[in-house]
Amino acid sequence: MRLQIVNPTAPEPGLVVGSGGLSRLSGSRVGVLENGKQHAELLLTTVAGLLGSEHGVELVTVTHKSVAAPASPEVIDELVGLADWVLVGSAD
């Protein structure tokens, strides 16, 4: 099994996906999309809180989806409208 750890505070990401990425983490707005797994919301909001206290990231929304299905278009639209980037899911 291979594990990849991504540092959100790294100076330059190796790959930027989407609309061009963030120019800086400080002052960015993060949303949480939790997937219904045990403690997912606690884990993701804790990470967001640490990024807030250490890097000025603002947690703007916590949304939920079923572990067995993708997020609905409405949930995606909400995240796009409120957040600059999103912390998603967790593993058991």
- Which pTM was predicted? 0.73
- Domain interval for residue 57: 29-88
Q: Which residues, 6 or more positions from 75, have their beta carbon under 8 angstroms from its beta carbon?
A: 33, 63, 65
The pLDDT of residue 16: 47
Looking at per-residue confidence, does 58 or 1 come out higher?
Answer: 58
Q: Which residues, 6 or more positions from 52, have their beta carbon under 8 angstroms from its beta carbon?
A: 58, 59
The pLDDT of residue 9: 63
| pLDDT digit string, tens, across residues 21-68 | 677 888 999 999 998 888 889 999 999 999 999 899 999 999 988 888
The tokens for 56 are 């000025």
The pLDDT of residue 29: 93
Q: Is the pLDDT of residue 8 over 70?
A: no
The pLDDT of residue 50: 93
Cβ-based burial of 55 (10 A; exposed 0-12, middle 13-18, buried ≥19): middle
16 lies in a domain?
A: no
Q: Is the pLDDT of residue 12 over 80?
A: no
**Number of structural domains, the chain?**
1
14 lies in a domain?
A: no
d(CA 70, CA 68): 7
